[in-house]
């Protein structure tokens, strides 16, 4: 009997010692930051509660303009590289568990509302690829093209978002259109097509409530807005400041509209090539102010409370960020962070903001209330910063 008792104890100890959790760190996934190491084909995963690097995942493809979305349980990160590799990363083991080729020049992705599929938009070939999120296999291809009198015009696809009703919405860059896809059906039909929305859409966002899809236009002085509750027609939102004309600047970087900000029932939008941030009344889309900025805004981002809008710049003054108060609509803080600030991301509930300094090989963590520096984290050529809170945000 005693021998049997000791045998049981031995089996329990061996099982415990060889379990995945024994002698290793454990963490949840709800407060992680996935940070792109642009030139190293890798990402680092950071615990935003402790501001510590948990590990690195490598061999992920060309990470210029790399984008990350998450499974709804925040267990997996889906990263699409510019050279068309979709990677599935396990955020508990910090390993890539699957990989599939989805294009030659990929530009964005979204996870469907039912968490079953990933939609990837491509420049080349001009298609959208639908991928099974579990097996990471391509299950459908949507060719983006417009019928004209001279024949079919193929188009790069951009501005991919997931929308309520388990829909997907994207824009056609070379065909001046917006398409809506029904992801509830096995053949992923395009159920709505909107044409002549403006010249050359380059990116788009979905407002936090999921109602409005807004596309930026490279060669038109307005935005194209689609009401997803009605799906009747697109509407123009003017970028022109009626009170003051501002000179056009050379475009150094086309900003991602996913970085446009909502706060105090207002929409804050960068103007391509100009040193100003436009402010619109949400819903009526009335332009109420243009805020002069220190440079050409690249990203305008707000924390969860919407009180402050954090802005970084391309070209001149790209080592600085400026903070706009959404109540007074004035710049309240200018902070020098490091050479070539590329991107920003908030920790859950917005206590801290992570800011990447590409040239200085660091990510700077600031307190969003005091603006005080909390920590500098060494990261190789950091660019995009993606928090797992994106797993629960419509349109990402």
SS3 string of the chain? CHHHHHHHHHHHHHHHHCCCCCCCCCCCCCCEEEEEECCCCEEEEEECCCCEEEEEECCCCCCCCCEEEECCCCCEEEEECCCCEEEEEECCCCEEEEEEECCCEEEEEEECCCCCEEEEEEEECCEEEEEECCCCCEEEEEECEEEECCEEEECCEEEEEEECCCEEEEEECCCCEEEEEECCCCCCCEEEEEECCCCCEEEEEECCCCCEEEEEECCCCEEEEEECCCCCCEEEEECCCCCCCCCCCCCCCCCCHHHCEEECCEEEEECCCCCEEEEEECCCCCEEEEEECCCEEEEEEECCCCCEEEEEEECCCCCEEEEEECCCCEEEEEEECCCCEEEEEECHHHCEEEEEECCCCEEEEEECCCCCEEEEEECCCEEEEEEHHHHHCCCC
- 69-339+364-375 to CATH, choices 3.30.70.20, 3.40.640.10, 2.60.120.1570, 2.130.10.10: 2.130.10.10
For residue 387, the model assigns a pLDDT of: 96
State residue 248's pLDDT score: 45
For residue 18, the model assigns a pLDDT of: 45
Q: How much is the pLDDT for 315?
A: 85
pLDDT digits (tens, 9 = 90+) for 337-396: 999 999 999 999 999 999 999 999 999 999 999 999 999 999 999 999 999 999 999 998
Could you say which residues of the chain have pLDDT below 70?
A: 1-24, 241-259, 272
| pLDDT of amino acid 262 | 87
Q: What was the pLDDT predicted at 245?
A: 55
Report the predicted TM-score, pTM, of the whole model to 2 decimal places.
Answer: 0.90
């Amino acid at each position: 009997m005693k021998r049997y008792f000791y045998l049981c104890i031995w089996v329990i100890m061996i099982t415990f010692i060889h379990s995945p959790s024994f002698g290793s760190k454990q963490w949840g996934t709800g407060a992680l930051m996935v940070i792109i190491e642009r030139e190293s084909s890798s990402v680092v995963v950071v615990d935003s509660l402790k501001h510590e690097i948990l590990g690195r995942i490598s061999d992920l493809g060309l990470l210029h303009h790399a984008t990350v979305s998450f499974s709804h349980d925040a267990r997996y990160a889906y990263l699409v590289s510019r050279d068309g590799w979709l990677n599935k990363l396990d955020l508990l083991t910090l390993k890539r568990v699957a990989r599939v080729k989805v294009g030659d020049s990929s530009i964005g992705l979204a996870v469907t509302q039912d968490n079953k599929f990933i939609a990837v938009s491509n420049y080349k070939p001009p298609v959208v690829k639908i991928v099974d999120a579990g097996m990471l296999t391509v299950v459908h291809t949507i060719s983006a093209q417009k019928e004209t009198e001279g024949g079919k015009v193929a188009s790069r696809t951009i501005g991919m978002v997931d929308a309520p009703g388990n829909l997907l919405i994207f824009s056609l860059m070379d065909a001046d259109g917006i398409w809506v896809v029904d992801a509830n059906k096995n053949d992923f039909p395009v159920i709505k097509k909107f044409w002549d929305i403006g010249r050359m859409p380059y990116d788009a966002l979905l407002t936090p409530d999921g109602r409005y899809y807004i596309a930026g236009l490279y060669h038109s002085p307005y935005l194209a807005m689609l009401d997803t509750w009605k799906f009747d027609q697109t509407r123009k939102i003017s970028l022109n400041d009626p009170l003051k004309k501002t000179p056009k600047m050379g475009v150094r970087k086309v900003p991602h509209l996913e970085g446009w900000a909502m706060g105090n029932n207002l929409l804050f939008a960068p103007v391509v090539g100009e040193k100003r941030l436009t402010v619109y009344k949400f819903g009526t889309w009335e332009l109420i102010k243009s805020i002069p900025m220190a440079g050409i805004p690249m990203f305008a981002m707000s924390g969860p409370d919407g009180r402050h809008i954090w802005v970084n710049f391309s070209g001149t003054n790209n080592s600085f960020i400026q903070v706009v108060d959404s109540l007074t609509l004035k710049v309240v803080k200018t902070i020098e962070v490091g050479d070539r600030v590329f991107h920003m991301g908030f920790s859950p509930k917005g206590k801290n903001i992570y800011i990447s300094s590409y040239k200085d090989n660091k990510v700077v963590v600031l307190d969003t209330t005091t603006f005080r520096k909390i920590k500098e984290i060494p990261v190789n050529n950091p660019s995009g910063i993606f928090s797992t809170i994106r797993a629960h945000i419509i349109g990402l």
